[in-house]
């Protein structure tokens, strides 16, 4: 593993770089339910800033212990008695981390268990694929805590489930779990067993795609969604021009033409 990605230089995250390019990134404060303190956010920024350059092909984002993430470190926030200016800058660092994730071009599969709440849901929503299990539950407790979201829930959670469902969650503290959460779009997969095992299976699969193709999927789609329809169509053509003519794709196209590539079949 290159120096920058070396797990020794991280205290809040545990990193495991696997031979196939998949990196397991684990929030590692289980005694605090992986609450996001400022130091954890800085480590997320550092890791995701360097991931592509360090050859990471896909990430499984997990939380140690029974809960994925309890959101903002409320105790740190309370102890520091932050000013509006301070907290605005805290939020800007969260956005830096989560934008690096969503727009960074490296596929991120979140393995969710237990609480995925407040900022924990904001973190999960910056991943590209979310896998939940039978213990996973989603909530935005900010309304009850006397605070507001600051890590992008108004954008990404609204995007996933619609503005009014997001408003209901934060206003009333409503909790979603089980198949209903998948049906609403909070996760794409629900497992009977471990969400982690399924997330690794998916990461192993997507790590076999060409990196430039994954870059387009995990960066361009989000950028294109921020544009007007006309501009998005133009930019999509430019991206496809680059990606669909990459030399590495020729081998795969040739295999299709020669009938040696797998065909797309319905699930059996």
CB 71 within 8 A of CB 120: yes
105 binds ligand 1HE (CB under 6 A): no
How many H-runs (helices) and E-runs (strands) does the chain carry? 13, 9
Q: 147 Cβ partners below 8 Å, 6+ apart?
A: 72
Among 6, 9, 20, 75, binds ligand 1HE (CB under 6 A): 75
Report the site for ligand 1HE in 182-221 (rule: CB under 6 A): none
CB 148 within 8 A of CB 87: no
For ligand 1HE, which is the closer residue by CB, 67 or 156? 67
Q: How far is the CB of 40 from ligand 1HE (least distance, A)?
A: 11
Among 43, 73, 102, 133, binds ligand 1HE (CB under 6 A): 73
Angle at alpha carbon of residue 196, lines to 159 and 153, rounded to 5° = 20
Considering the candidates 4, 11, 102, 142, report the single residue annotated as catalytic: 142
**Coil/strand/helix, residue 209:** coil
Give Cα separations from 189 to 54, 60, 96, 185 (angstroms): 28, 14, 27, 9
Q: 49 Cβ partners below 8 Å, 6+ apart?
A: 100, 104
Among 95, 145, 165, 223, binds ligand 1HE (CB under 6 A): 145
For ligand 1HE, which is the closer residue by CB, 107 or 141? 141
70 binds ligand 1HE (CB under 6 A): yes
Site string for ligand 1HE, 11-50 (x = CB under 6 A): ---------------------xx-x---------------
Among 22, 51, 91, 160, binds ligand 1HE (CB under 6 A): 91
Among 72, 123, 129, 160, binds ligand 1HE (CB under 6 A): 72
Helical residues (DSSP H) of 10-83, grouped into ranges:
38-50, 74-80
For ligand 1HE, which is the closer residue by CB, 71 or 211? 71
Per the annotation, the verdict on 142 as an active-site residue is yes
Burial class, 257, CB count within 10 angstroms (exposed 0-12 / middle 13-18 / buried 19+) = exposed
Q: How many residues bind ligand 1HE (CB under 6 A)?
A: 23
Considering the candidates 76, 102, 122, 254, report the single residue annotated as catalytic: 122
């Amino acid at each position: 593993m290159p120096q920058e990605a070396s797990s020794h230089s991280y205290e809040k995250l545990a990193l495991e770089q696997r031979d196939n390019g998949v990196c397991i990134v684990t929030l590692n404060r289980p005694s605090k339910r992986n609450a996001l303190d400022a130091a954890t956010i800085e480590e997320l920024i550092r890791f995701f800033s360097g991931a592509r350059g360090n050859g990471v092909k896909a990430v499984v984002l997990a939380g140690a212990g029974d809960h994925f993430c309890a959101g903002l470190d409320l105790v740190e926030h309370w102890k520091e008695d932050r000013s509006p200016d301070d907290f605005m800058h805290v939020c800007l660092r969260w956005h830096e981390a989560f934008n690096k994730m969503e727009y960074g071009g490296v596929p991120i599969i979140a393995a969710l268990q237990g609480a995925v709440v407040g900022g924990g849901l904001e973190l999960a929503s910056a991943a590209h694929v979310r896998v939940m299990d039978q213990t996973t539950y989603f909530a935005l407790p900010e309304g009850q805590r006397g605070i507001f979201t600051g890590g992008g829930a108004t954008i990404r959670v609204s995007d996933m489930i619609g503005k009014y469902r997001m408003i209901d969650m934060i206003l009333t503290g409503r909790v979603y779990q089980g198949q209903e959460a998948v049906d609403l779009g909070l996760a794409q997969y629900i497992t009977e067993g471990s969400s982690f095992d399924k997330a690794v299976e998916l990461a192993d699969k997507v790590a076999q795609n060409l990196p430039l193709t994954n870059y387009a999927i995990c960066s361009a789609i989000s950028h294109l969604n921020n544009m007007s329809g006309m501009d998005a169509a133009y930019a999509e053509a430019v991206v496809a021009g680059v990606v669909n003519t990459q030399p590495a794709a020729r081998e795969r196209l040739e295999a299709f033409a020669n009938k040696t590539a797998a065909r797309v079949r319905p699930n059996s």
